[in-house]
A and B are shown apart, each in its own frame.
Chain A
């Protein structure tokens, strides 16, 4: 009985079951998420992701720390949305401006788009995967902090009293994060669809967000144009709507803009931007 064996080092065929479109989408999303957060890439790609997470989570952690150490802290849901005004919106703008463009632009520049379109993915499923990735990224910085605080307060016993109240606050937080996440995803993806260079897209997004805020303010306050112009304020619109969800009339008042018009504005912008991305990708000649 010979105990020697020579194994066939040749090519092994795969006869197992294939995961089809679902598997391809999952792989695209996982890969895009890892790349956006700089995992498996050189250190310099991790700077912005770490920065955005820090900016959005730090205030929440500090407040929780204080609440735990010294007890007390606000009981009602007054201050869950305040984070959307400052820390979260800065983190979100950073995320939309620096990370979302890389989701679309680099694939075109590095020829990866051609590889994706030759895989079970096609243009709509590819864009769907990228949109889902972008929403996950933005939810990471918009949903996390307020939920953390809600949890912290509840454990402390100073959270919203009664189960119904708690659920309502929870739903409001999720809704606000989704609105901000979805809205900015659409704007970010639309601008990223126009150019191959993500740096140009980043500059354009920052320019668009800031310019739209300044110009709408100037036009409405200075030039006394109708308040509907405020719907063109790419930062003001979602944030104001979040306040309306938390039925607060705080600093971002826009009292003369009815809530339904805000919802209309958000939905209108979503259709406009996502329609633009689809139109652009439908005819994109993939030469690379």
Chain B
């Protein structure tokens, strides 16, 4: 068993707690029941457009960041709070390996926990359009990758990552982007939304990021955060 596998296994075992399962189940239930409501609504409106609008708001804007926050911020955050990070940090293994395995283990749980409910909701809400479903699934994977990187970093940067994460999601991603259109382009949500719209080929596309730009941006955010986490692990005082 290599060092990386050891770390990855440790982090993965710590991802799943009953509280988080309930949270993921809760979001899935809310998304699916809302999608069901849209599906059964009588007026004939552009199904795909309404599905995308709904999932950009509730899915990419709320479900994915919250689930990613709860999982990723605790991967290293809990170790800092329980003062057990020293047992990994003080070993003769490279620090980037700790950061990378933390990021990947939280992503590996967040992706299925968001892609499945969001994809199914898209399918339902858009009245069975597989293309919209795939587009939303891809967008939520990308968003999960970026958010997990960001919140893994938050776990080692601040004392209460959950609170700061929620502030980030509700203040930066929703409020500010709504108020100042320009800033909106910098949020992970806008990249993910751009990808879902472009892949689904629905709705006004001008002014949205291009597909490659969105993918590269999110991957850059993810890997960039791993780099910052490594730098922080080297610099911080360990209990």
Contacts and interface: CB of A to CB of B under 8 A. Distances in A.
A and B touching (Cβ–Cβ under 8 A): yes
A169 to B, nearest CB: 42
B37 A222 contact: yes
A75 interface: no
A211 interface: yes
A211 B34 CA distance: 13
A211 B26 contact: yes
A218 interface: yes
Interface string B24-53: 001001000100110010000000000000
Majority SS of interface residues in chain A? helix
Nearest to A200: B19
Contacts of B36: 222-223
Interface in A189-225: 211, 215, 218, 222-223
Contacts of A211: 26
B58 to A, nearest CB: 13
B26 A218 contact: no
Contacts of A222: 33, 36-37, 40
A283 B155 CA distance: 33
Contacts of A218: 33, 37
| A-side interface size class | under 10
Majority SS of interface residues in chain B? helix
Nearest to B160: A199
A215 B37 CA distance: 12
Contacts of B26: 211
Contacts of B40: 222
Contacts of B37: 218, 222
B62 to A, nearest CB: 14
Interface string B161-196: 000000000000000000000000000000000000
A229 to B, nearest CB: 13
A215 B32 CA distance: 12
A232 B168 CA distance: 33
A223 B39 CA distance: 12
Nearest to B29: A215
Interface in A124-144: none
A207 to B, nearest CB: 8
A67 B84 CA distance: 64
Contacts of A215: 29, 33
Interface in A241-265: none
A211 B29 CA distance: 11
A218 B38 CA distance: 12
A46 B40 CA distance: 48
A214 B58 CA distance: 16
A222 B29 CA distance: 15
B33 to A, nearest CB: 6
Nearest to A222: B37
B35 to A, nearest CB: 12
A17 to B, nearest CB: 48
Contacts of A223: 36
Interface string A99-122: 000000000000000000000000
Nearest to A195: B19
A252 B29 CA distance: 26
B239 to A, nearest CB: 20
A192 to B, nearest CB: 15
B24 to A, nearest CB: 14
Contacts of B33: 215, 218, 222
10 contacts: A211-B26, A215-B29, A215-B33, A218-B33, A218-B37, A222-B33, A222-B36, A222-B37, A222-B40, A223-B36
The 4 closest A-B pairs by CB, nearest first: A222-B37, A218-B33, A218-B37, A211-B26
Given A215-B29, A218-B33, A222-B40, 7 more contacts: A211-B26, A215-B33, A218-B37, A222-B33, A222-B36, A222-B37, A223-B36
